[in-house]
Amino acid sequence: MPDFQTEKDLVRAAHRAIDSAGAEACSAALAIHLSPQCHWRGYAPFYEQIGPEAIAESFWGPFKRAFSAQTRREDVFFAGKNEIDGFAGTWVVSMGHLMGLFDAPWLGIQPTGKMAFLRYAEFCKVADGQITEVAFYIDIPHLMMQAGLQPFPPQTAAHLVQPGPATHDGLLFDPQDAAEGEATLALINSMISDLGSWNLGLPLEEELRRTWAEDMIWWGPAGIGATYTIERYAKQHSGPFRAAFGDRSSTGHVARLAEGHYGGFFGWPNFTATHKGGFMGLPAGTPERPAEFRVIDIYRREGDKLAENWIFIDMIHFLRTQGVDILARMAEVPRT
């Protein structure tokens, strides 16, 4: 069984290179480990970029000019074979925060001069000694809220800077027991099967108990928030979300993998659905204009249940599919 050490070492080296690079050196830093045609999928407004130079010009350079003393605070790191392509490709996953001093405007958001945390989750495909694909999701609305902006109506759950795993064991730099990863992936697949139907014929809390621990924590994105325990998750997110959407499409994951007690996936998009009205204060959509959800999910398994879940939803893109541009709306709003 592969231990993924070569791929992990390459991604860690790529992180060191970009983390230590100045704003003007980002393209050269990325070119060390990314292929010339690396396909980068990012959170709106960055969307898709091809190659180190485009990635640097669209995201890393402007970000580093806005955030001084930038550092990476990583909470989860694992690798695995991708179930979606028949376990052919190898991906490495990283999750945590990019922390820095918010010293210059970024995306129209005015700086605070204070430390700020940008949530991130990243999937890197490694092939032939290079990173050939990247999914890089961040939580820009969470940063807006740290800067005193309120881009959404009141959230159903809690807004806070989110910690890493309760067990403090999410950095899987060393080889892991393959059987543990297989168990984690199987549990994630069971949960996806339950979730994908939205119609198991069980009360929602009973459905959730099939794969989730009673004291689960769902670390949701800004606009929804974080929630704790099955009962509160059902009340504060899952129930309202299911009630607000119909005509859910099938799941469209690009990569799904697990190692040890950690696993996750990303989709482009994960699914589409018709908004029936009320979610985040939005009016109803139409089948001709479905809501599109681009999502990264990271999970921690404990025993035979999922205990923690970190969710990254491209809320800016989702809202754009519904005719709302919160970046444009928030650009001129003073901090509260």
pLDDT computed for residue 80 by the predictor: 98
> Which residue type does 232 have?
R
pLDDT > 90 fraction of the chain, expressed in percent and rounded = 80
Q: In what order do the strands lie in the sheet with 262-267?
A: 226-228, 212-219, 305-313, 295-302, 262-267, 253-259
Q: 5-146: which CATH number, 3.10.450.50, 3.40.50.300, 3.40.50.1820, 3.10.580.10?
A: 3.10.450.50
Residues 252 and 267 sit within 8 Å (Cβ to Cβ): yes
- pLDDT tens digits, one per residue of 133-144: 999 999 999 999
Domain 178-330 has CATH 3.10.450.50: yes
What are the boundaries of each domain within the chain? 5-146, 178-330
> Which residue type does 119 have?
R
Residue 125 pLDDT > 90, yes or no?
yes
258 — pLDDT class (breaks 50, 70, 90):
very high
What is the Cα–Cα distance from 53 to 106, expressed in whole angstroms? 19
Find, among 202, 277, 215, the residue nearest to 241 by Cα. Answer: 277
Residue 95 pLDDT > 60, yes or no?
yes
What is the Cα–Cα distance from 259 to 77, expressed in whole angstroms? 9
- pLDDT tens digits, one per residue of 30-63: 999 999 999 999 999 999 999 999 999 999 999 9
* DSSP E strand boundaries for the chain: 34-42, 48-50, 67-81, 90-102, 115-127, 130-138, 212-219, 226-228, 245-246, 253-259, 262-267, 271-275, 291-293, 295-302, 305-313
- Mean pLDDT over 182-207 rounds to 86
pLDDT computed for residue 249 by the predictor: 82
What is the Cα–Cα distance from 170 to 258, expressed in whole angstroms? 12
The structure's pTM equals 0.94
pLDDT computed for residue 109 by the predictor: 94
pLDDT computed for residue 185 by the predictor: 98
Neighbours of 27 (CB within 10 A): 18
Find, among 128, 136, 141, the residue nearest to 18 by Cα. Answer: 136
pLDDT computed for residue 68 by the predictor: 97
Residues 255 and 188 sit within 8 Å (Cβ to Cβ): no
Residue 295 pLDDT > 90, yes or no?
yes
283 — pLDDT class (breaks 50, 70, 90):
confident
pLDDT computed for residue 336 by the predictor: 53
What is the Cα–Cα distance from 280 to 223, expressed in whole angstroms? 7
pLDDT computed for residue 329 by the predictor: 83
Which residues neighbour 199 within 8 Å (Cβ) at sequence distance 6 or greater? Answer: none
What is the Cα–Cα distance from 187 to 265, expressed in whole angstroms? 13
The tokens describing 300, both together, are: 């921690």
152 — pLDDT class (breaks 50, 70, 90):
confident
ω into 45 cis (within 30 of 0): yes
Residue 335 pLDDT > 70, yes or no?
no
Buried b (16+ CB within 10 A) or exposed e, 208-245: beebbbeebbbbbbbbbbbbebbebbbbbbbebebebb
pLDDT computed for residue 63 by the predictor: 98
Residue 131 pLDDT > 90, yes or no?
yes
What is the Cα–Cα distance from 4 to 211, expressed in whole angstroms? 28
Alpha helices, H only, 135-212: 140-146, 178-197, 204-209
